[in-house]
Amino acid sequence: MKILVTGGAGFIGSHTVVELHQSGFEPIIIDNFSNSEEKVLTRLESIIGQPTVYYKADCNDEAALRSIFEKEQLDGVIHFAASKAVGESVEKPLMYYQNNIGSTLLLLKIMQEFGVKNFVFSSSCTVYGQPDFLPVTEETPRQEAASPYGNTKRICEDIIRDVVISKANLKAISLRYFNPIGAHESAEIGELPRGVPSNLVPYITQAAAGLREKLTIFGNDYNTSDGTCIRDFIHVVDLAKAHVKALKLLTDTDGNNYYDVFNVGTGEGVTVLQLIETFERVNNVKLNYTIGPRRAGDIEQIYAQVDKSQQVMGWRAEKTLEESLRDAWRWQQKLAKGTTKEAV
C-alpha cells in the first residue's frame, strides 16, 4: 500500500516513514523542506536500506499535489505538514491558519477526487486547552485554544469530522499528540529545527552541547509541584508506531465512512524541571538554565489517559523518559561530531 506522508522529512514524519517501511507499507514523501533538510533522505535510506520516493513540494500547491496523486495511485495519507511553533503562531496567526488549514482542505479535496479513503491527521493535545480535569481522555471537552496553532488543529479536526459525516467515503483518525521527544536509536534522524528551537528538548541538547549559552525555563510560578509546566513526553518512535496502528485500524475497518480520535502519550505528567534533572542524570551533563517569564500560549499542565489507544488501536508507549533523553543526546552528539551535518 502506498501512503503519502506529508512533511515526511520532518521530525515525526521521518520516523514514521521508517516504521511504515518496516510494517510493509510504501511511504511516499512530500515536503517543502522549510523546517528540515533534504539530506534526511540519505539518512532514511541508510536506516531502511533503500531509497524513499519523495517530492519537493508544498502541500498548499494544488497542481503539485494533483500531479502526485495522478502518478502514485495512493492508498492513504498521513498528514504531518504544518507550521507548529506555539509562540510563533501567536505572532503570525494568518500564516498558521493559511498553512495548516489550507493544506488540510486541499488534501481532503484531492483525496476525494482520486478516491483515496484513508487519512491519518496529525492533531495535538493543544485542542484541549487548559483542561479542568486530568488526565485528559478523548471525551474531555475541548477548551478554547490557547494559541492559533492549537486552534488550527481544532478546526482541522472539525473539518475532517464534517467530511466523514457527509458520507464522502473517508475513513479518518486524528491522533492527538502530546510532547514528542527523543530520536531514532541509530542517531541517523532526530529533531533539530533550523534556527532557534521552539521545542524544549532540542534546546536542552543544544545548550548541553554548548551551542546555546543557556536554557530559559518559561515560568516557575505555575500551580505545580515545582512551579514549572507539566507535559506528557513521548518517544518519537512510539509516536511513529501509533501512526502505523492507526493506518491498520482504518484499512481493517469495514464501511466507507469512519472517524475517531485518539490520545497518543505516555499517561504520565512530568514537570519541565523534572525533565531537565532527568536529562542531566542519565547523560551525566550539567545544564546552565535560568528562569524567565511565562510564554504566551503555554498552558499550565496536561497529560493523557491512553486507555482508548490501547484498547482500540492496540498501541501503547513502550520507551521510558530516560531512553528518550539518552536518544536525544546521542543524536545531538552525533551532530557535534560532524557525522551528521544537517538538521532533521
- pLDDT digits 0-9 by tens, 122-158: 999 989 988 999 999 999 999 888 889 999 999 999 9
pLDDT at 178 over 90: yes
Mean pLDDT is lowest, of 84-93, 199-208, 258-267, for 84-93
Q: What is the mean pLDDT of residues 246-274?
A: 97
When divided into structural domains, the chain yields a total of 1
C-alpha cell at 282: 542519565
Q: Which structural domain range is residue 52 located in?
A: 2-336
Q: How confident is the model at residue 48 (pLDDT cuts 50, 70, 90)?
A: very high
Q: Is residue 193 part of a domain?
A: yes
DSSP 127: G
Closest by CA to 76, choosing from 185, 181, 172, 177, is 172
Q: What is the mean pLDDT of residues 240-266?
A: 97
Q: How confident is the model at residue 341 (pLDDT cuts 50, 70, 90)?
A: very low
Q: Is residue 341 part of a domain?
A: no
Q: How confident is the model at residue 61 (pLDDT cuts 50, 70, 90)?
A: very high
Q: What is the mean pLDDT of residues 70-99?
A: 94
Burial of 59 (0-12, 13-18, 19+ CB in 10 A): buried
Given this model, what pLDDT does residue 190 score?
A: 96
Amino acid (1-letter code) at residue 208:
A
Locus of grid cell 531514532: 184
DSSP 177: E
Q: Is residue 343 part of a domain?
A: no
Backbone angles phi, psi at 23, to 5 degrees: -100, 10
Cα Rg of the chain (Å, integer): 19
Q: Is residue 184 part of a domain?
A: yes
Percent of the chain with pLDDT over 90: 88
**149 classed as catalytic:** yes
Higher pLDDT, 146 or 239: 239
pLDDT at 195 over 90: no
Mean pLDDT is lowest, of 4-13, 79-88, 229-238, for 79-88
Q: Measured between alpha carbons, how far is 225 from 123 in angstroms, rounded to an integer? A: 28
Q: Measured between alpha carbons, how far is 241 from 239 in angstroms, rounded to an integer? A: 5
Given this model, what pLDDT does residue 339 score?
A: 47
Show the DSSP H helices in the chain as ranges: 11-22, 40-48, 62-72, 86-91, 93-96, 102-114, 148-165, 200-208, 236-252, 272-283, 307-308, 321-336
Catalytic entry in 149, 203, 222, 259: 149
pLDDT at 82 over 70: yes
Q: Is residue 342 part of a domain?
A: no
Closest by CA to 221, choosing from 326, 119, 135, 293, is 293
pLDDT at 192 over 80: no
Q: Measured between alpha carbons, how far is 171 from 258 in angstroms, rounded to an integer? A: 4
Residue 207 · residue 214 · CB < 8 Å: yes
Q: Is residue 344 part of a domain?
A: no
Given this model, what pLDDT does residue 7 score?
A: 97
Helix 62-72 crosses helix 102-114 at what angle (to 10 degrees)?
30
Average pLDDT, the chain: 94
Q: Is residue 252 part of a domain?
A: yes
Amino acid (1-letter code) at residue 58:
D
Given this model, what pLDDT does residue 222 score?
A: 97
Q: Measured between alpha carbons, how far is 319 from 277 in angstroms, rounded to an integer? A: 18
Q: Is residue 140 part of a domain?
A: yes
Q: Measured between alpha carbons, how far is 234 from 302 in angstroms, rounded to an integer? A: 13
C-alpha cell at 182: 527523543
Q: What is the mean pLDDT of residues 266-272?
A: 98
CB atoms within 10 A of CB 256: 12
The domain that holds 261 is classified in CATH as 3.40.50.720
Given this model, what pLDDT does residue 1 score?
A: 95
Q: What is the mean pLDDT of residues 90-114?
A: 97
